[in-house]
Amino acid sequence: MGYFAKSNLVFMLLLLLTTRISAAAPQAVPINRIAADHSANQYFNYLEDENASLTIDDLLQGSYQDMFASGAAEVLNKGFSQSAFWLHSRFSFPEQPDIYHITRYVSLEYSLLDSVDFYVIENGEVTGKWLTGDSRPFNTRPVDYSRFLFPVEFNRGDIKDIYIRVQSTSLLRMPVTIWTPSEFHDAQRPKLLLDGLYFGILLLMLCYNLFLYATARDASYLYYIAYILSIAAFQLAMSGYGFEYLWPNTPQVNEFLIPLSICAISIFVLAFGQRILDLRKQSPLLYFIVNIIIVLEIAGAITSLLLPYAVVIQTLIVFTVIVAAVKLYISIQQSLRRIHTAQLFLFAWFTFLCGAMALAATSMGWLPVNFLTTNSFIIGSAVEVIVLSFILAERSHQINKAKAFAEKQAKDALQLMNDSLRETNRTKDEFLATISHELRTPMNGVLGCLQHASQCPDQSSLDTYLNHADRSARHMMLLIDSLLTYTELQSGNLQLQQEPFRIGEMLDKARLLFADTCAKKEIRLRMSLDSVTPHTLFGDSYRVGQIFNNLIDNAIKFTHRGEILIEITCAAIDHESQSLKLIFSISDTGIGIEPEKQSQIFESFRQADATNNRGYGGLGIGLSVVKALLDKMDGTIECRSNPGQGSRFEVTFPCLFQNQDLTSRIDEQAHQPSRHAAPLQVLVVEDNPVNQLVIKSLLTRHGYTIVTASNGAQALLELEQYAIDVVLMDCQMPIMDGFETTEKIRNMDHRHAHLPIIAVTANGMSDDRHRCIQAGMNDYLCKPIDAQVLHRKIVYWTNNAARQKTG
C-alpha cells in the first residue's frame, strides 16, 4: 500500500509538471484552421503582472513561461485592476499546395483599454511591434479601427508567437478574435450599418425635437434633447468612434467624457421623467427624492473631474443602479394609475434596461455572442429614444387638446362675459333712467310744494305744502343714502360705527316718513315694540335705520291695500355682557313673491324697469343693500311669501344694550340745561350761505349765540375774539378746510384743549366719520341735519367739556 501511494504521488506530480509545461509551451495552433466563430480566447494563455513591470524581453528569456495560465473559451474579464496582463499564443501555417502566403487580423474587441502592446515573435526575435491604446494618439494603431486590430502575415511553414500586453484603469475586458481580411470586412458592414442607423436616429430625434422646442418652448423638449446628446456622447466614447473621428489626438477626452456622460444621462432622464409624469403634482415625495438624486448626480459629475477614473466609474455604477431602480419604481407606480404617458415611459425604460442587461450578460459569457446580443444596448437605447419621442408627441397632443379645450372654454366664457356686459350696459341704462325718475319724483314734490307755499294765502294750506315737501325731501334722502351705501358696499370700504341709539325714535321717524305714502294707498301701518326690548341700544344707528326704512319702503311699494305690520322683539338677552339679538319683522298683504324668484330678490337691480308702464318704483337695490349690511353686521334675513297673499321678512342681528336706569340718567343729563350761566356761543364754520342760514335758524330756537365764519382761517380769528363754547365745523371749505383748521385749534393753547368740535358735513361715506375723529373732532353729523340730534350733541359735549375743566 505504501508503494502504491508513492507511485500515485509521483504520477500526479508528473501530471502537474506536464500540465504546467503544456501551459508554458503551447503547441502551435494552425492559423488556417481556427473555427468560423473567430473567437480566439481559448488559444491565448495569460499572465498577471501585478507590478506592471515585465517587458517583452523578460518574457522571451523563458523564466516566466511556467507562470502563464491556460486560456478558456469565455472572454477574459478581470474587472478593475491595477495589474498588467500578458496574453500569449503560438500559431503556425502548415504547408499547403498552391497557398504560399496568408494574412490574419488579430483584434481586441473592446475600445476602452488604456495600453495595448502587440508583439509578433519569430525564432525568438521581435518581427512586429505596435504600442497603442486609448491613452495614446489614434495614429499609433496599425489599422484605422475603433477597437484594436493588428495584421499578422504568415508564409508557408511559419511558426509565430503573439504576445499582447494590456493595462487599463477601466474595466479589463479582453475579447480576442482572429479574422481573415474578407471575413472581417464582411462582418463590419452590418455593424457599420447598425451604428450609422443608430446615430442617424439620434440625430433625427435631436433635430426634430429641437425644432419642436423652438416652437413650443416646453422644458420637456429641452431635457429630451440634452438626454439624446448625453447618450450620443456616451456611445461615441464607448464605441471608439469619437476617438477615431472626433478627438484622435486628444486621448484624455475619453477619460472625462464617459463619467460626465453617465451623470448627464441620469440627470436629464430623471428631469425628463419627473416633468413628463408630473411628479410635482402626482407624487410630491417621489418628486423630492428625484431632485435629491439629481443633485447627487451633479455633484458626481463635478467630482469626476478630480477623483481617479477607476473610483469614479465604480461609484457611478452604484449610482446608475440606484437611478435605474428609482426610474423603474416610478414608472411602475404611475403606470398602475393607468396613466398612458407613464405606461409608455415604463416600456421605454424597460427596453433600455433589457438592452443593457443583455450586453452585460454577453460580456460575462452568460449569453451567446451574436448580432443581437452584441448590439443589444444600441437596439435598446434606440427604441427608448424613439418611444420617449412618442411620449413627447403624446404630451404635445394632450397639451394641444387641453389648449383647444381651454380656448373653447375661454371663448365661451368671453361670449358669456360679452352677453353679461351687454346685459350690464342695458341694466346700467335702465338704472340711470330709474335714478333719474326716482330722484326727480320727490324733487318735483319739494319744488312744487315750495312754489305753492310761496303763493299760499292761509297758514293751514302752507303747513300742508311744507309737510309734503318735507316728506318728499326725506324720501329723496332715502334714495341717495341707498346709492351711497351700495357704492361703499361694492368697493368694500363700508365701516360700521358703534354708538347709542333709540329704537323707539327710529320707529317714530319711519312712521313719519312713510305715513303720507301709506295714507295715499289706504294702507294701515302698524308698529309694535315689545316691553322687553331695551330702549337704548348700541350699534350703527344709521345703518340700522337704512335696513328698517328699505324694508318698509319695499313692503309699501308692493302692497296695494290692506296693512303692514312692523314688530320689534329681542332674544338671547345676556345681562352680564349686555348683548342681545334684535329681531325686526315686517309683514304685508301685498302681491307676494313666487317661490322660484325668492332666491333672486336680494340681487341688485332685480326691480329695475325702464319701460313706461312701470308698475313699481324704486332703484332695485334696496334689498341687496339690506342683505349686504346684515352680512357686515353678522345678521340674517329670511323671507316667507306666497303669491297673492303677501310677504314676511324677518331680520336678526346682534347688538349691545344699555340698562334702563343708566338710560334715564343719560337722558336727564343730555336734556338738562347747560352748566354755563350765560347762553352758549356757537361758532358755525360753513362756507355755504344757505347752510349757514339753516344752521343758525336751528340753533336760534334754543337760545344759542351764533358766530359764523366762512372758512378755517376766519374761524381761527373768531376764536381769538370770542369765548366760543362749541364749534360746528364744515370739512370742505376754501382757503383752509375743516381738518387743517381742527389741527390748528388743537395746537393753539390750553384754552382750546377741551373745546368741543362737531363735524357738520355733507361727506356721507362711512370712513368720513373716522377721518373727522382722527383729525381731532369730537363728534360727527351728516347733512341734512336733524335739529333734535344737533341740540342733543351740543348739550352733551359742552357739559362734558365743563366737567373736564372743573376737574
Q: What are the two backbone dihedrals, phi and then psi, of residue 461, each rounded to the nearest 5 degrees? A: -65, -35
Q: Give 276-310 pLDDT, tens digit per residue.
A: 888 888 888 888 988 998 898 898 888 888 888 77
Instruction: For 190-395, give the CATH class.
Output: mainly alpha
- Res 83: pLDDT: 93
Residues in the chain: 807
pLDDT of 373: 78
For residue 365, pLDDT beyond 50: yes
Rounded CA separation 473/465 (Å): 12
8 pLDDT higher than 50: no
Instruction: State the Cα–Cα distance between residues 458 and 452, nearest whole angstrom.
Output: 11
The sign of the torsion formed by the CA atoms of 384, 385, 386, 392 equals: positive
Which cell is 694 given? 339753516
CA nearest to 358, candidates 347, 349, 369, 348: 369
How would you write 700-741 as a 3-class SS string? HCCCCEEEEECCHHHHHHHHHHCCCCEEEECCCCCCCCHHHH
Quote the pLDDT of residue 25.
53
Site of grid cell 524581453: 57
Q: Which segments of the chain belong to CATH 3.30.565.10?
A: 459-663
**Cβ proximity of 66 and 21 under 8 Å:** yes
Q: pLDDT band for position 5 (50/70/90)? A: very low
pLDDT in tens, 307-326: 887 788 778 878 888 888 88
What's the pLDDT score for residue 19?
37
Cβ 56 vs Cβ 163: under 8 Å: yes
Closest CA to 632 of 797, 493, 795, 775: 493
What pLDDT, on the 0 to 100 scale, is given for residue 129?
A: 94
State the average pLDDT for the chain. Answer: 81
| HSE-CB of 474 using CA atoms within 13 angstroms | 22
pLDDT over threshold 50, residue 1: no
364 pLDDT tier (thresholds 50, 70, 90): low
In which residue ranges of the chain is CATH 1.20.1070 found? 190-395
Residue 206 has pLDDT above 60, yes or no: yes
pLDDT exceeds 70 at position 26: no
597's CB contacts (< 8 A; 6+ apart) are: none
pLDDT in tens, 456-468: 666 666 667 677 7
Rounded to 5 degrees, φ, ψ at 112 are -95, 60
Please give the pLDDT value at position 673: 52
Top pLDDT among 188 and 659 is at: 188
CATH number of this structure's domain 23-179, picked from the four choices 2.60.40.2380, 1.20.1250.20, 3.40.50.720, 3.20.20.140: 2.60.40.2380
Calculate helix-pair angle for 252-276, 219-239, nearest 10 degrees.
150
219 and 175 Cβ atoms separated by less than 8 Å: no
Can you give the pLDDT at residue 723?
87
Q: What percent of the chain has pLDDT over 70?
A: 84
pLDDT tens digits along 231-270: 999 889 888 899 889 999 988 888 888 889 889 988 998 8
Q: What pLDDT sits at residue 797?
A: 87
**DSSP letter at 81?**
-
**pLDDT reported for residue 618:** 57
Rounded CA-CA distance 346/333 in Å is 10
pTM, 2 dp: 0.52
Rounded CA separation 32/723 (Å): 137
**More confidently predicted of 66 and 488:** 66
What does the block give as the cell for 604? 341688485
Bridge partners of residue 705, in order along the sequence: 681
The residue among 725, 792, 730, 738 whose CA lies nearest residue 499 is 792
Residue 727 scores a pLDDT above 90: yes
Residue 311: half-sphere exposure toward Cβ, Cα within 13 Å: 7
Pairing mode, if any, of strands 779-782 and 757-761? parallel
Residue 682: strand, helix, or coil: strand
Higher pLDDT, 184 or 398: 184
Coil, strand, or helix at residue 369?
Answer: coil
Nearest to 42 by CA among 29, 25, 32: 29
- CATH architecture for the domain at 672-805: 3-Layer(aba) Sandwich (3.40)
pLDDT higher than threshold 70 for residue 437 = no
Burial class (CB in 10 A: 0-12, 13-18, 19+), 742: buried
Q: Which fold has domain 459-663?
A: Heat Shock Protein 90 (3.30.565)
- Residue 497 CA to residue 629 CA, distance in Å, equals 12
Dihedrals φ, ψ of 707, to 5°? Answer: -120, 130
Residue whose cell numbers read 325718475: 437
Instruction: CATH 2.60.40.2380 in the chain: give the residue spans.
Output: 23-179
Name which of 736, 807, 734, 742 is nearest 773 in CA terms. Answer: 742
Is residue 431 scored above 80 in pLDDT? no
Q: Among 60-64, 140-144, 181-185, 421-425, which is the least confidently predicted range?
A: 421-425
What confidence tier does 209 reach under pLDDT thresholds 50, 70, 90?
A: confident
